[in-house]
Structure 1
Amino acid sequence: MGTSELLSRPEELSMTTFVLVPGAWHLPSTFDLLRGELDAVGHASLAVKLPTTGPDPHGGLRDDAAAIRTAITAVGDPVVVMAHSYGGIPATEAAAGLPNVRHLIYLAAYVPDVNESMFTIHGIPDPDDTDGLFPIGGDPRAQLYADVPAAVADQAVSRLVDQRVQPWVDRVTEAAWQTVASTYILTEQDASLPVDLQSRMAARTRDVRRIATGHSPFLSRPAELAALLDAIDREKDA
């Protein structure tokens, strides 16, 4: 299975395609296990490569949002956008005003309002220099993959790449969750994005679900996450 190509879809599969947006430092391959499980429950999917994420990071929030919009519009069919962590910020901007976006799912993700950024959400002043890289941190395995099987976690850590500071400072100009049906999936054992902050951001969405995992359930419990995503999508048809 490719990491960024649309899966071929036999007739029996759902007409809903999941567009998956990774967080900071992560490439589309982070969703490979989840994409396999989505395929098994009847959903095509694609994962977006964000320009501000390595191996050759460049641009800012608007560039990431443009990449997501391109992926959404290329699908044509009804789309559910699922964004993880930082990915919630460009997805919030990208999904606004696109008629084929039927639902927006935030997975342990930021839910910014207009004129907010990741820095403003955390109450951090903008840095003087926004042209550099943001460090991953001293122990990414503990922060991001604490409950992920050892071999999978080792591979995930080896695949982490550089991340630009600029998109964390750039402010959102459109907030799709204001007009698009949205769900927040709160990760209850998260060591990266505090649960209380997730709860505050989740209040901006119309529906909140919980999963008893760390920050990366697409690696720790991909089948469970795929079943939850499928259930959310099916309930919107009921």
Structure 2
Amino acid sequence: MKKLIAGGLLLAATALAPAAQAQTRAAPVKPTVVLVHGAFADSSSWNGVIKILERDGYTVIAAANPLRSVRGDADSVADLLKSIDGPVVLVGHSYGGSVISEAAEGAANVKALVYVAAFAPEAGESALALTGKFPGSTLPPTLAPPVKLSGGGNDLYILQAKFHDQFAADVPLADAKLMAAGQRPIADTALGEASTAPAWKHIPSWFIYGDADKNIPPAAQAFMADRARSRATVVVKGASHVVMVSHAPAVASQIEKAATAQ
């Protein structure tokens, strides 16, 4: 009798094994999240978002954006995308939005774009042109005297004394001072460079920004989100330009919505 029971259990286990294997195979693979910072920031600006995404099981790469030119920076990110197996959610902050729009063009593994207080330019548009399209940006008077580069052109920084109010008003002052000291400069020509390949035209996009952004006018961001037919747009009340620092959970949530969308 015991042999019959044991044999029956073995037969049942054998029958169930293929079904369990099929369920394992059917489990969706979580996309890798690639984060691209913008001007006057660096990859550490994503630290709060990274902690949440990694806790939730995502592989995250915070790309080092050169901030030299839209095309050149996009090529750098595109090279990184080629090294990643499986789907990718590509996220850009500020000028990084221009970069991801170009980098995603032709990248078959990019399943979604997320714009975090970011530019989503049309072909022929530049970051400067989009900033000036609507009133509200107070960035120009807060810039330090340009740093002349030996190879030509200029690097732009925000004056450290004005960084908190202009760039990160909803971040604790002590943290904003560290961000100001470690800010990455952008080549002035990059901000005026016209985009060529708006990947948001054929890749699903999500947007999130603050209504107290002093770098990119909120009206400009609403315009770009509507034009890109954003799957979902979140406007964070009182958030500054660095919404990913001050409201990391909201930004991480938007990224995860993009990652799990069908």
Q: State whether TM-score is above 0.5.
A: yes
Verify the 8 A CA contact 2:163 2:176 in the aligned structure 1: no
Supply the RMSD in Å over aligned alpha carbons.
2.2
1:88-147 deviations in Å (ceiling 9; x for gaps)? 1111111112110000111111111111111332459xxxx9711223246111122111
Alignment length (residue pairs): 215
- Name the structure 2 match of 1:134: 156
| C-alpha contact 1:61 1:166 (8 A) present in aligned 2 | no
Alignment of 1:55-134 (within 5 A): 59-123=68-132, 131-134=153-156
Alpha-carbon distance in 1 for matches of 2:206, 2:80: 20
Deviation at 1:194, TM superposition (A): 1.3
Deviation of 1:150 after TM superposition, in Å, equals 3.3
- Is 1:232–2:232 an aligned residue pair? no
SS at match of 1:167: helix
Matched, 1:210 2:235: yes
Tell me which amino acid in the other structure corresponds to 2:38: G
Cα deviations across residues 129-184 of structure 1 (Å, max 9, x unaligned)?
A: 97112232461111221111333323222211222112112211111011111112
Are the counterparts in 2 of residues 134 and 164 from structure 1 also a CA contact under 8 Å? yes
Q: Is 1:151 the counterpart of 2:174 in the alignment?
A: yes
Q: How far apart are the structure 1 equivalents of 2:99 and 2:38?
A: 10
* Greater than 4 Å deviation, 4+ residue runs: none
Q: Counterparts of 1:32 and 1:114 in 2: how far apart (Å)?
A: 31
Structure number with bigger Rg: 2
**Counterpart-to-counterpart distance in 2, 1:26 and 1:232:** 24
Q: Which amino acid aligns with 2:88?
A: V
Alignment of 1:33-44 (within 5 A): 33-44=48-59
Q: Give the structure with the higher percent helix.
A: 2
Preserved contact between residue 13 and residue 42 of structure 1 (Cα < 8 Å):
no
> How far apart in 2 are the matches of 1:232 and 1:182?
8
Contact 2:40–2:157 (CA under 8 A) maintained in structure 1: no
In the alignment, is residue 26 of structure 1 matched against residue 41 of structure 2?
Answer: yes
Measured after TM superposition, the shift of residue 13 of structure 1 is: 10
Q: Deviations over 1:33-68 (max 9, x none)?
A: 21111111221111111223xxxxxx4222100111
The question of 1:195 aligning with 2:210 is answered: no
1:14 shift after superposition: 5.5
After TM superposition, the score normalised by the length of structure 2 is 0.75
Q: Distance in 2 between matches of 1:109 and 1:135?
A: 18
The question of whether the paired residues in 2 share the 8 Å contact of 1:41 and 1:227 is answered with no
* Seq. identity, %: 27
Which residues of structure 1 form unaligned runs of 5+? Answer: 1-11, 53-58
Partner of 2:158: helix, strand, or coil?
Answer: coil
CA distance in 1 between counterparts of 2:43 and 2:225 reads 24
Taking a change above 3 Å as real, the CA distance of residues 25 and 186 of structure 1, as seen in their structure-2 partners, is closer
Among candidates 198, 223, 234, match of residue 249 of structure 2:
223
Q: Structure 1 residues 110, 144: closer, same or farther in 2, change over 3 A?
A: same
Moved more, 205-214 or 42-51: 205-214
What is the CA–CA distance in structure 1 between the aligned matches of 2:175 and 2:212, rounded to whole Å?
18
